[in-house]
């Protein structure tokens, strides 16, 4: 029979292995608390470490279509260097906030599965992706897929946080606890997008 010590050792090993997937865990924002992966559900653990499109992952799990809702998108100039995107101060980026949500049959508010905040390196965007962003019809994952651009993801960090200063449409989520992760999407060996995804805990 498995002892408590064996269980704790197994949980410690899994926690360590999962955290090692994040290449900048030691540089996570100070607002993030450490995650104990053993206390998450299998679905939540999958969300944290998946390197595919989150929308598709959620749809497969809940077996229902997920809507990408654009909250805000604008071009802006960096005031300081962005280490992760390898962009200097003065470079242009696209700031984009979305939710992934599903609707209930009643008149209740939609269920928010994910809130994502992204910074996109404008000068590295293929024309097809830029046009897709301007049309606001698709999420980033689908736009990348449709473009045919070869990309890879690098997981940066993860943690637990309480959300503040949210867009007006989702201010009701402020002060709630979320699982958070950040990752880069790279193309042609250059960072294309820095994405922060937050999942309700």
Tell me the per-residue pLDDT of 103-140, one tens digit each, with 9 for 90 and over. 877 777 888 999 999 999 999 988 888 888 877 666 78
194 neighbors 91 (Cβ within 8 angstroms): no
Write the CB contacts of 102 (distance below 8 Å, at least 6 apart in sequence).
62, 64, 65, 66, 67, 110, 111, 113
CATH for 4-200? 3.40.1410.10
DSSP letter string, the chain = ---HHHHHHHHHHHHHHHHTT-TTGGG--TTPBPP-GGGS-HHHHHHHH--S-HHHHHHHHHTS--EEEEEEEEEEE-SS-BTTTTB-TT-EEEEEEEEEEE--SSSSPPEEEEEEEEEEEGGG--HHHHHHHHHT-S-HHHHHHHHT--EEEEEEEEEEEE--S--GGGGGGTT-EEEEEEEEEEETTEEEEEEEEEEE-
Give pLDDT tens digits along the chain (201 positions). Answer: 556 666 666 667 777 778 888 999 999 999 999 988 888 999 999 999 988 788 889 999 989 999 989 999 999 999 999 999 999 999 999 999 999 999 877 777 888 999 999 999 999 988 888 888 877 666 787 788 777 788 899 999 999 999 888 888 888 888 999 999 999 999 988 999 999 999 998
Q: Could you tell me which of 201, 97, 185 has the C-alpha nearest to residue 193?
A: 185
* Domain segments of the chain as ranges: 4-200
CA 37/CA 97 separation, integer angstroms:
26
Tokens in use for 25? 């865990």
What pLDDT sits at residue 3? 67
């Amino acid at each position: 029979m498995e002892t408590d010590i064996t269980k704790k050792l197994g949980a410690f090993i899994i926690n360590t292995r999962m955290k090692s997937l994040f290449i900048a865990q030691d540089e996570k924002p100070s607002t993030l608390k450490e995650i104990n992966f053993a206390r998450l559900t299998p679905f939540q653990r999958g969300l944290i470490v998946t390197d595919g499109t989150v929308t598709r992952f959620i749809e497969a799990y809940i077996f229902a279509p997920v809507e990408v809702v654009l909250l805000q998108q604008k071009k802006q100039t960096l005031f300081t260097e962005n280490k992760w995107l390898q962009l200097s101060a003065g470079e242009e980026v696209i700031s984009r906030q979305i939710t992934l949500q599903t609707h209930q049959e009643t008149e209740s508010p939609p269920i928010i599965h994910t809130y994502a905040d992204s910074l996109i390196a404008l000068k590295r965007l293929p024309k097809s992706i830029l046009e897709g962003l301007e049309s606001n019809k698709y999420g980033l994952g689908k736009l990348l897929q449709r473009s045919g651009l070869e990309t890879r993801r690098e997981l940066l960090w993860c943690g637990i946080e309480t959300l503040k200063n949210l867009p007006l449409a989702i201010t009701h989520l402020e002060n709630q606890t979320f699982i958070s992760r950040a990752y880069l999407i790279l193309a042609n060996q250059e960072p294309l997008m820095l994405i922060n995804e937050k999942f309700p805990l």
